[in-house]
Amino acid sequence: MTAHSSTSMTNLPQPDHPYKVMAVYKFAPLPDVESLKAPLAAFCCTREIKGTLILAPEGINGTVSGSPQAIEALADFLFVSGPFGTRLAGAEVKYSYADTAPFLRMKVRLKPEIVTLRAPQVDPNRQVGTYVEPEDWNALIERNDVVLVDTRNDYEVGIGTFQRALDPNTQSFVEFKDFVAKNLDPKRDKKVAMFCTGGIRCEKASSYMLSQGFEEVFHLKGGILKYLEVVPETESRFSGECFVFDERVSVGHGLELGQATLCRACRHPLTAADRQHQHYVEGVSCAYCADDSDKHQAAAERQRQMDLARQRGRAHMGDAVADDAARARAEKIERAEQSRLANKG
């Protein structure tokens, strides 16, 4: 079964890791989206797949992880045998691997859009820019007549981006429209190339720019993740690491685990240099939230609870918390029953 549309050869090793990660998106009409949520959630939960999948009338988007066998079964469910039929065939899918669980629980969410732009005139099912394969990306972005734009948010750009790329300095994707209006001109900028994490934001962004009169709009097929997967590091024009929306925080070339961590107070990704800042306290604060004492207090208490849970050999977050709580209740009941029998005797 072919679950994705890319023909690029992979540089990924064939790893022996317990968790396989699937990042997937596809713009496809799903008018019956409400009836799809329950069977998809049930399928994932019964196979201990965790992560987030977003369903909307315009398609699907998300990242999940589980055992390699479970993820392979999910791919078949989404693209062949499940209630989606063949509507998701040709989806953009990227796989990677992890030694520890990247996600703590499973969520299937219904939303108006799979990536929020709030531009009703945009329809990636009808019109998008020109896809550029990762192997051809370097030649395109090195041209002097091409304007290169990073469509991601500021905290993502901060830990890694392509050389010469414009940073829109946005905090949410809906602000991208304002960036275009203020900084780009269809009469001047005849050729625009854009990129994002996995390709989905560029589908919306390129469709929007075409609706605004831009003549030639290109976007990196499969996004930064596919580029880091298939382009050798010696030929790469990407500097730094790529932020990902799970517990891995970032990945580098070959989709190897990156060095970035998250500030647990403000959720801002932190590079090694950020962690040397005077305001950095592990699990409590960083330079980006140095003036927010309320966040620091909450984070300090959360860190204390995590440390206590670790000392007791208990989970602190995710579905494992419920499992630990159930075990604790069972142990308490067992102790009480043993005590009752002992007293009776």
Catalytic residues: 196
- For Cα atoms 96, 102, 108, give the angle at the middle one, nearest 5 degrees: 95
The span from the CA of 203 to the CA of 68, in Å, is 29
Query: HSE (CB half, 13 Å, CA atoms) of 192?
Result: 29
Pair of tokens at residue 311: 């000392």
DSSP assigned state of 233: G
Pair of tokens at residue 31: 């008018």
Q: How many CB atoms lie within 10 A of CB 128?
A: 20
Pair of tokens at residue 62: 């998300």
- For Cα atoms 294, 290, 272, give the angle at the middle one, nearest 5 degrees: 125
The span from the CA of 237 to the CA of 9, in Å, is 18
Contacts of 6 (CB under 8 A, 6+ apart): 92, 133, 221, 222, 226
Cβ atoms 243, 197 nearer than 8 A: yes
The span from the CA of 279 to the CA of 289, in Å, is 9
Residues 205-232 as b/e (b if ≥16 CB within 10 A, e otherwise) read: bbbbbbeeebeebbbbbbbbbbbbbbbe
The span from the CA of 196 to the CA of 150, in Å, is 6
Task: Give just the sign of the alpha carbon dihedral 80, 196, 181, 130.
Answer: negative
The type of residue at 67 is S
The span from the CA of 205 to the CA of 148, in Å, is 13
The span from the CA of 293 to the CA of 57, in Å, is 41
The span from the CA of 81 to the CA of 65, in Å, is 20
